A and B are shown apart, each in its own frame.
Chain A
Amino acid sequence: MPRRSRDLSPDAAAQAARERFAARMIPDHSSRPLLDLSGDSGAETDDLASLFAGEANSVPAVARLRWRTSWRVAALVAVVAAVLMAWFLWRLADGRATSEPLGPSVSAGRSDGPDAVDPPAEGVQPAEVAAPPAQGGPGVVMVHVAGAVGKPGVVSLPQGSRVFQAIDAAGGAAPGADLTALNLAEVLTDGIKVYIPVVGETPPQSSPVAGAGAVSGAASGTAGPAATGAKVNINTASLEELGTLPRVGPVTAQRILDWRKEHGAFTSVDELDAVDGIGPKLMESLKDLVTVQGG
């Protein structure tokens, strides 16, 4: 029975030989680059393909898979993984939170019973409270310089400094700053914000700028400090003083004091919004009546 008994192996070998020959002769389409850049732009760009390829693709893409890895590679990855894990753990241990009680200097402004470090008599009267060291100490004013300056931010200056000094301390006026809109000779008050507009810009008088209680650069020079004096300083005011504000009853005033006790001094008038019971509407009406000075 010749048909049945014919051996398969010579046939298979011949088939394999034929396939190899065909692979050498016929260019393989399946592993050709998708964008064959060598064809269109001359000899120098055919390196572009081989830059990524690394080696020539003459071998036919037989559907074979690579699954096996040398155990050495796995061991190497294990070592790298151990190092990385150690780093993550070290960073976790390093970044542990540290917490400390709020310092007395920051919570100044009210006599509170449990806090024994706080001198009890001092905080009640706003006039007596010295600016805490964190705020720069006495004889120093801190102002917020914003707008067209080199380095917007909070700068601290000696008492009695003028607006132009504040601008210098904040990195100087940026090109395009409209300095004529400001009163450069105005004396700075602590805790105000100086906004330097760009040429053509209208100073944001009406916008709820942080620390809007005081001069806003272009504000009429004499009115600013005078108005500030009449305002209630929420960082130092007592319960009674806060009660004089419109629509602020004893409950809200106590909440303001509690907030001050728990979170430290206010840095801007807007922070009043965070106090329970003071909503956006009350905030609007209070904004022009309170100020933030010292701490």
Chain B
Amino acid sequence: MADAGAGAGSAGRTDLRLVPTAATAWGAAFAGTFNEAVWSWAAAGFLLIAGAVLLFSGRQRRWAGVRARTMPATFALACFFGATVAVHCAAMAVQREEGPLAQAAADHEGVAIEIRITGSPAASMAPGQSGGNRWTVTAELLAVTAKSTVARGTADVLIAGGDGWDKVQAGQVVRTTGTLKEARDGQGQDALLSASSWPVVLDSQPDVRQSASELKHGFSAATRWLPPDAAGLLPGMVTGDTSALPESLETDMKTTGMTHLTAVSGANCSLVLGAFILLARSLRLSRPLAAAIAACGLAGFVLMVGPDPSVVRAAVMGAVGLAAMVGGLRGRSLTFLCVATAILLLLDPTMAANAGFLLSVLATLGIVLLASRLASWIPSRVPRWMAAGVAVPFSAQLLCGPVIVALQPQFTPYALIANVVAGPLVAPVTIMGTLAVPLAVMAPWLAVVPVAVAGGCAATVAGVARFFAGLPGATMPWAEGQAGVAAMVLCSGVSITLVWMVLQSERVLVRVVALHAGVELFLDRMSGRRHGRLDICKESSGRKHQWLLPKTPGPRTPRRTPSAGGTQARPP
């Protein structure tokens, strides 16, 4: 935005102009998700007024000839953006409170409903009472019949159903019956339908996600000949499909803090984007063309694994993280991160309460703020790729630690080392696996080679997870709730300080000396007013030799000679 005029001198400055914007957007979205529409309207109004006041006060001062860029303008920008997010939240809350489903949901009524599926079914954690699995899927409302009235309108429904609901696909128009309930706070949907009957497919429209799920199934089928650990892990690491993941391996991954590998995460998207850029640049394409090809490649990857909100989020964050790692402009990458966060929150304010989004932003923030600093502390004898391989997981772990502890109160001492060891294997799994996904559908016999390579690496990753989970003390209890989070924040702070002290011992010395000088100055200032300077006191003759004695005219004062008897010398 305003960077154009900033010139080359601004490259080294940490750009904090968009931090208030992202923070306000997050605050407005978080408050709006959990409160009623009235509060969101009020927040929007307040932020608008505050923004206008700040803007005009800043402008008036500019007319007075102070400066063109002002701090109030920064905050005005944040206020306007926050107001927009608040309006979106309010609109969603109104939809929830007065939408076509509101009345039926409040009465917990049985309804016959016609919906269009918009997501892919996910197995829900708790199995249903009837013994079978429960599946949840998002859908948009077409018509709902209750109490002899047909209501139409736009609303999002989350459907929980038993067997049969795992077969529905995005784009299908489905009729079913069930009981409507109000959505829980923080859920993006307007109502919850617990379906009591099988879905009856009325119509099917083409949707990208259908082909995505076909690709996923094709890839899962193509990996089935691998050993069970690799066959379960490989689809998870490439397409985020964890249906075949063995239960014990899933627990072990959780114990070693490697669960982020089994979903389509920012790391996957970074790798795909980086691979495309390297490919395009090695073909000697021009820079804008390479960037365009890489962006198209990433978009293709997102379409391939299904454009779910979490995948889109991961793609955006992955691009930001790659820019932070390769670009080396800390200030600029922070701006990218702020822009990405703010826009994602504007598009879907319910993300503000989503732990996955929080973890994703925190991990990227860690990479942006800490990773390059950490890597620069590591002595240059160590190869840079190794330094980066340690610094990136460590910085992400430091910032994500408190949130992970809040979700799952246990301490996993091997999380960092397991991630560092598995790190180099993630790249071949992702690249080869991604290559194999379209091949598995188009030419299954061609896909055998990349699947074998990726499967071997995935088996090693699984082995790493199992090894570290089997070590003694792999999980330790940690305090729950606020205390646990505070303790983890402290733990992160202490560990980064320790790492700094170990890696930068000479700087520690410099800092200690500087700190000493500061303390000295402070004491000096404190006591200087009343009792004179704090100075070195030593026995002396009562005369400072540096001081030139004034040659006063007139007779010299007689020199005082210490008497032979030895009276004590006075301090100066």
Contacts and interface: CB of A to CB of B under 8 A. Distances in A.
Interface in B1-26: 1-2, 6, 8-17
Interface string B99-125: 110000000001110000000000000
Given A70-B68, A267-B200, A276-B110, A30 B376 contact: yes
Interface in B205-247: none
A32 B326 contact: no
Given A66-B17, A89-B87, A274 B12 contact: no
Contacts of B80: 74, 77-78, 81
A48 to B, nearest CB: 6
Contacts of A66: 6, 10, 13-17, 331
B73 A73 contact: yes
A42 B373 CA distance: 25
Contacts, number: 279
B479 interface: no
Interface string B66-97: 01111111101100110110011001001100
B112 A274 contact: yes
Interface residues of A, number: 85
B488 to A, nearest CB: 25
B495 interface: no
B1 A57 contact: no
Nearest to B114: A267
Given A97-B99, A97-B152, A102-B148, A263 B177 contact: yes
A153 B91 contact: no
B328 A152 contact: no
B435 interface: no
B17 A68 contact: yes
B110 A274 contact: yes
Contacts of A103: 150
A213 interface: no
B316 interface: no
Interface stretch (A33-41, A178-186, A227-235): A33-41
A10 interface: no
Interface residues of B, number: 104
Interface centre among A45, A71, A89 (most CB of B within 10 A): A71
Contact of B203 (A32, A77, A154, A270): A154
Contact of B198 (A53, A210, A275): A210
Given A51-B290, A81-B81, A274-B196, A59 B69 contact: no
A51 B362 CA distance: 25
Contacts of B127: none
A68 B54 CA distance: 13
A98 B152 contact: yes
Given A59-B8, A208-B198, A65 B14 contact: yes
A210 to B, nearest CB: 5
B374 to A, nearest CB: 9
Contacts of B147: 262
A55 B74 CA distance: 25
B371 interface: yes
Contacts of A77: 77, 80-81
Interface string A88-115: 1101100111111111000100000001
A264 B112 contact: yes
Contact of B287 (A47, A67, A144): A47
A268 B198 contact: yes
Contacts of A209: 198
A223 B72 CA distance: 81
A35 B326 contact: yes
B269 to A, nearest CB: 15
Contacts of A262: 145-148
B151 interface: yes
Contact of B130 (A54, A65, A280): A280
A62 interface: yes
B62 interface: yes
Given A35-B326, A59-B11, A97 B153 contact: yes
Interface string B23-53: 0000000000000000000001000000110
A39 B175 CA distance: 60
Contact of B204 (A67, A91, A100, A153): A153
B139 interface: no
A48 B326 contact: yes
A253 to B, nearest CB: 17
Interface string B353-376: 000000000000000000111011
A99 B200 contact: no
Interface string B385-405: 100100110000000000000
A68 B66 CA distance: 13
Contact of B69 (A30, A34, A69, A152): A69
A33 B327 contact: yes
B177 A85 contact: no
Given A53-B328, A85-B87, A89-B87, A44 B73 contact: no
A162 interface: no
B73 to A, nearest CB: 4
A146 interface: yes
Interface stretch (B277-285, B510-518, B550-558): B277-285
A75 interface: yes
B197 A32 contact: no
Contacts of B164: 210
Interface string B165-205: 00000001001111100000000000000001111111110
A67 B393 CA distance: 30
Given A78-B80, A263-B112, A51 B291 contact: yes
B76 A78 contact: yes
A75 B55 contact: yes
A64 interface: yes
B148 A89 contact: no
A153 B172 CA distance: 9
Interface in A197-217: 208-211
A208 B6 CA distance: 68
A192 B52 CA distance: 64
Contacts of B290: 51
B84 A84 contact: yes
A81 B52 CA distance: 12
Interface centre among B74, B204, B326, B346 (most CB of A within 10 A): B326
Contacts of B111: 263
B71 A273 contact: no
9 smallest beta-carbon distances between A and B, as pairs: A33-B328, A52-B327, A97-B153, A97-B100, A270-B197, A274-B177, A68-B69, A95-B154, A99-B151
Given A64-B12, A70-B73, 19 more contacts: A31-B11, A31-B12, A33-B372, A34-B372, A66-B15, A68-B71, A68-B73, A69-B69, A71-B76, A76-B1, A81-B83, A84-B87, A97-B99, A101-B148, A107-B148, A115-B148, A153-B201, A210-B200, A273-B197
17 contacts: A34-B325, A34-B391, A35-B325, A47-B281, A50-B287, A57-B11, A69-B70, A70-B2, A89-B87, A92-B91, A92-B94, A95-B95, A97-B98, A97-B99, A98-B100, A107-B148, A274-B178
Interface of B: 1-2, 6, 8-17, 44, 51-52, 54-55, 58-59, 62, 67-74, 76-77, 80-81, 83-84, 87-88, 91, 94-95, 98-100, 110-112, 130, 145-155, 164, 172, 175-179, 196-204, 277-278, 281-282, 284, 287, 290-291, 322-332, 346, 371-373, 375-376, 384-385, 388, 391-392
